Amino acid sequence: MPSEEKLWPSRLFALVYAAGAVLMGGYALWHYLMGDYGQITLPALLTLLLAGATLLRLSHHPQRYLSAYLVLISAYLLIAVEVAQLEGGAGLWLGLPPVLAFLVLPPGSAILLNVLLGGLWLVLLVSPEQAGELAMAYLVLTLLGALAGGEQARQRDLLEATRPHDDDCDALRASAIRERLAQEFIRARRLDQRLSVLVIQLPQLDGPGDAYDRLTRRQCLRRFAEVTQHGCRAPDQLGHLDDDLFWLLLPDTGENGALMVRQRLLDAVERLALPGGDGLSCRVALCAPHDQESLSTFEERLGLKARLLRESTT
């Protein structure tokens, strides 16, 4: 579930799983107090299973999403063993398995699981005379869950596509900074104002063979963005173009002012301390639009500046 972390934090899931473990433990204790010793085994085992799912969810293990499957297995076992023993009213619980699947699994996996287990739930929970009618209700509930999951995925994709900020640091993403550049370019032309752009390249993050793993790379990007934003004015905009490339838009700023910003940035980055005690270096080039120059030509010059920075050895 790659996108799950963005919607629900791990601690919230762990809290829900822990609550389920407490409830299951209470159910086992109730059987013990009532003298139903033969019924204690299953809820006691499920308590341990849910407790394990809680700990797995709180861990930093890359497979921690498997905790959702442990919770689902626990719920399915409880429904199959306990609810199926109810006389006359078990059919009322037929909608619980598909709802649980959609709550803890991605839509595609939940649909597949509900289709595969639909016959089993009808046999366990429904009397033969009600099977036809409740089978249709089960199918409708599965389709509604699929529609809800599809709409949620569509809204999430739309949010990701329109979100202006970069995933790795406090900067605008490439599409957003290009759009902002076009706006500032037109504004500078119409108001006869100056516009400067600093093209910034981080040599240590250049290409897949850089010296950092993904986590350290993200930390470097975040620290660099924090330092850069700290020295910027409110109208200035920092954008993340590529793994190692940034644009810093400086509206209403001439060459002298842009050079001062460049020097402050170089000094700040030189003092920047990274995890492990390493330092981060950067290369910065100044670019400003010429008179009568078009936006496309200016963007080409910015791209040329970036290539020259990457090819530079100093």
Per-residue pLDDT tens digits for 254-272: 889 999 999 998 888 888 7
> Is there a contact between 142 and 111 (Cβ–Cβ < 8 Å)?
yes
pLDDT of residue 184: 92
Q: What is the DSSP string of 159-173?
A: HHHH--B-SSSSSB-
> Is there a contact between 110 and 101 (Cβ–Cβ < 8 Å)?
yes
What is the 3 state secondary structure string of 33-93? HHCCHHHCHHHHHHHHHHHHHHHHHHCCCCCCCHHHHHHHHHHHHHHHHCHHHCCCCHHHH
- Which tens digits make up the pLDDT trace of 18-37? 898 999 899 889 988 888 88
> Is there a contact between 83 and 125 (Cβ–Cβ < 8 Å)?
yes
pLDDT of residue 7: 42
Global confidence as pTM: 0.54
